[in-house]
Amino acid sequence: MKTKLVCASIPALMWASLALAADAVPAGLDPDKDGTISLAEAQAAGAKVFASLNKDGDKTLDAKELGDRIDAAAIKAADSDNDGTIDEKEYAKIVESKFKAADPDGDGTLDAKELGSPAGQALLKLIQ
Ligand SMILES: [Ca+2]
Ligand SMILES: [Ca+2]
Ligand SMILES: [Ca+2]
């Protein structure tokens, strides 16, 4: 028998970190690495997403640019100047309201569990 058992044992540590990654806060959203996302971190990430979505550079996002990130009702609710598009200020407002919806314990930060909730997922769409 030439078959050699290739030891494919993955170190327990790696499994542990994989498990951690699955329900951890995305690193890019947590620059201070405290394991949670603060409103400031969410706003900073949201501003980046806004800039990347705003391809025509007209300072606002229309429904097409927003895609499925925000539902029509939320766009309407946030569109305070009623021009049918979302500017950066309006976008930040949506991020803030989604952030608060995703923070039921009201401690001002979102942990991995809160981010995993439907409200947390809705927020992630805006800031990722
Ligand atoms: Ca943080
Ligand atoms: Ca508007
Ligand atoms: Ca919280």
- Which CATH number does the domain housing residue 47 bear? 1.10.238
pLDDT at 92: 95
**Residue 23 resides in a domain:** no
pLDDT at 72: 83
**Residue 3 resides in a domain:** no
- Give whole-number Cα distances, 23 to 41, 77, 102, in Å: 18, 31, 15
- CA 103–ligand 1 middle distance (angstroms): 14
**Residue 22 resides in a domain:** no
**Residue 55 resides in a domain:** yes
- CA 92–ligand 3 middle distance (angstroms): 19
**Residue 66 resides in a domain:** yes
- CA 44–ligand 2 middle distance (angstroms): 20
pLDDT at 98: 94
Contacts of 106 (CB under 8 A, 6+ apart): none
Chain centre to alpha carbon of residue 91:
13
Considering every ligand atom, which ligand is closest to the CA of 119?
3
pLDDT at 73: 83
**Residue 5 resides in a domain:** no
Number of domains in the chain: 1
Taking 50 as the pLDDT cut, the residues of the chain under it are 17-22
**Residue 113 resides in a domain:** yes
**Residue 116 resides in a domain:** yes
- CA 110–ligand 2 middle distance (angstroms): 27
At residue 92's C-alpha, the angle toward residues 86 and 94, to 5°, is 75
pLDDT at 20: 46
Interatomic CA distance for residues 124 and 41, integer angstroms: 12
Residue closest to 53 by CA, chosen among 29, 40, 69, 37 = 69
pLDDT at 71: 82
